[in-house]
Structure 1
Amino acid sequence: MATTRTPAPTAPATSSRGAGVALMSGSAVSNQTGAAIGSLAFDTITPAGVVAVRQWIAAVALLATTRPRLREFTAAQWRLVIALAGVFAVINLALYSAVDRIGLGLAVTLEFLGPLAVALAGSRRRIDLACALLAAAGVAVLMRPQPSADYLGMGLALLAAVCWACYILLNHALGRTLPGAQGTATACGLSGLLFVPIGIGVLLTHPPTWSALGFAVTAGVLSSAVPFLCDALALRRVPAPLFAIFMSLNPVLAATAGLLILGQHLDLWQWASIAAIVTANTTTVLTRR
């Protein structure tokens, strides 16, 4: 007796994809909004103080949700975790210090060169070469000599970019040896411990106001806890390339948050540079299998 195969329903898949897009959008908006709000506390507790609070909140959130089995880690795994902890400590301090000097939009755009460099590294495709040249042109315009150019701030943003590239490679290595996010959570916890003396020193020398503490805590929640949860749920619903494309929108969202929350205006050339770097990354992702 012949049987007919009933086609699989597509509504649940479509609904899941839509939920994933909503989660990714929420993650990106939350991340950049949190960074903008956190910068409102720079004048009171300095970027280092805001980073310390953010790291503590991120450590508590990740360790509570992941609960890594520390006693089961091998020496090789601990080396990767310690290296990632150092990256965590440097990347946020470098980025927030850059935001304080050159603004949120430009700092996040330059930081975004890290994952773009990882995506392009080792590629021999002509389209990737074109994307690299397009991104390089955008960077050249952003860093062109001007009387108001803050090269220290740009250098700090580029340091954050290097750290982001290292973060991707270390996370990839940890993901092959430790299940789930145990390595990332442990590294975040160690980074939070590193910032205990720094944070205490900053808070003692720069007495915080309630509003400054509120801004720093809000940054920790919106830029760490919320994105981690949203990204983890989104990656269960959407393919990695789509996730990478949504990550590409972070420089645009950062510039928008800087404009709306902090009043940081960018000129036409700066917006064009951001668009060039975002386009380069999006094209790289879309043209890969």
Structure 2
Amino acid sequence: MSRFTASAGLRAALPYLCLVGAMVSLCAGTSFAKTLFPLVGAQGTSAYRVGFSALILCLIWRPWRMPMTRGDLLAVVRYGAVMGVMNLCFYMAIRTIPLGLAIAIEFTGPLSLAMIHARKPIHFLWIALAVAGLGLLLPLGDVSLNLDLVGVGFAAAAGVCWALYIVAGQRTGHLHGGRSVALGMATAALVVAPFGLVAAGAALLSPLALGLGLVVAVVSSAIPYSLEMVALRGISKRSFGVMLSLEPAVGALAGLLVLGEHLVGRQWLAIAFVIAASVGTVVTDPSRKQAEAPLHD
């Protein structure tokens, strides 16, 4: 009986373990990607990430087999273009600001989207928490924080793209999930590749950089996406959204352990505020239509 109970408990815990594994893999892969910046820059690293991810996803899902109308194709292209810009902006952000802070700022995009139709007083509490978190992240005269405003701007742009990504993704919801993501990622690669080529040039063809770029794509895209697919089969969208809200903290820890990015107390508090706002938004959203994790940062 105890063996049966233990087995049932493991099955119940597996989706949550997969989601935690996805977040850890994503943040660790993004931290590792940052070590590629001296070789090919943020633009080149982003091109590797979406390019190799597109290749892997296309080999797995074979999107050319998916029947599509012209309207469907345009919807997927828009979805992929936003995905590409989101990836590029995020990688440009983490050039100059810590990973955990960049993720926290980016989270304000889907948070804002979720709060557009805020009506209950509790919803405005989450808005206030998110605004307070952002306020703590910005230097606002405190030079000791040393937070690059250009990096903050890129992270905010990535957040806007995340919100647009959600809207664009909903318009492809009637299509095959894996194939539409694969085609979207291929579009994203076409959007990002020119920036990578201009910034890095022939350095993109270096065997060492190519190998490291493939590792980045696998660890920060292929593995997390696969684990999230397993998690979504056993977790409600609400629970998924609550756990996903922990990603800024996971990113901050990954940045600390992999890159040595130390945050001050005020910045950890800001991350806590953003996480609380995200969890609160998920829990009190009656529609339960929460944003799924994008294949990005």
TM-score (norm 1): 0.89
Shift of 1:185: 1.6
Match of 2:249 among 249, 252, 260: 252
Using a 3 Å threshold, how does the CA distance of structure 1 residues 16 and 173 change in structure 2: closer, same or farther?
Answer: farther
- Aligned: 1:287 with 2:284: yes
The within-5 A match list for 1:271-286 is 271-286=268-283
Amino acid at match of 1:138: G
Q: Which residue of 2 aligns with 1:168?
A: 166
Runs of at least 5 residues in structure 1 that lack an aligned partner in the other structure: 1-8
Matched residue SS, 2:172: helix
> What is the CA–CA distance in structure 2 between the aligned matches of 1:127 and 1:242, rounded to whole Å?
19
Shift of 1:12: 7.3
Shift of 1:205: 5.0
Amino acid at match of 1:286: V
Using a 3 Å threshold, how does the CA distance of structure 1 residues 71 and 228 change in structure 2: closer, same or farther?
Answer: closer
Amino acid at match of 1:25: V
> What is the CA–CA distance in structure 1 between the aligned matches of 2:199 and 2:138, rounded to whole Å?
31
Amino acid at match of 1:255: A
Matched residue SS, 1:149: coil
Q: Which residue of 2 aligns with 1:188?
A: 185
Contact kept, 8 Å, 1:248 with 1:278, in 2: the verdict is: yes
Matched residue SS, 1:122: coil
> What is the CA–CA distance in structure 2 between the aligned matches of 1:209 and 1:67, rounded to whole Å?
28
Q: Which moved more, 1:62-71 or 1:83-92?
A: 62-71
Shift of 1:209: 6.0
> What is the CA–CA distance in structure 2 between the aligned matches of 1:82 and 1:245, rounded to whole Å?
29
CA RMSD of aligned residues (A): 2.1
Shift of 1:13: 6.4
> What is the CA–CA distance in structure 2 between the aligned matches of 1:161 and 1:214, rounded to whole Å?
29
Q: Which residue of 1 aligns with 2:231?
A: 234
Q: Which residue of 2 aligns with 1:154?
A: 152
Q: Which moved more, 1:33-42 or 1:162-171?
A: 162-171
- Aligned: 1:266 with 2:269: no
Matched residue SS, 2:73: helix
Q: Which residue of 2 aligns with 1:140?
A: 135
**What is the aligned residue count?**
280
Contact kept, 8 Å, 1:94 with 1:160, in 2: the verdict is: yes
Using a 3 Å threshold, how does the CA distance of structure 1 residues 208 and 180 change in structure 2: closer, same or farther?
Answer: closer
Matched residue SS, 2:177: coil
Q: Which moved more, 1:199-208 or 1:30-39?
A: 199-208
Larger radius of gyration: 1
Identity %: 32
The within-5 A match list for 1:1-289 is 14-69=9-64, 72-145=67-140, 146-147=142-143, 148-175=146-173, 177-204=174-201, 206=203, 212-289=209-286
Matched residue SS, 1:100: coil
TM-score (norm 2): 0.87
Runs of at least 5 residues in structure 2 that lack an aligned partner in the other structure: 287-297
> What is the CA–CA distance in structure 1 between the aligned matches of 2:46 and 2:204, rounded to whole Å?
16
> What is the CA–CA distance in structure 2 between the aligned matches of 1:94 and 1:81, rounded to whole Å?
20
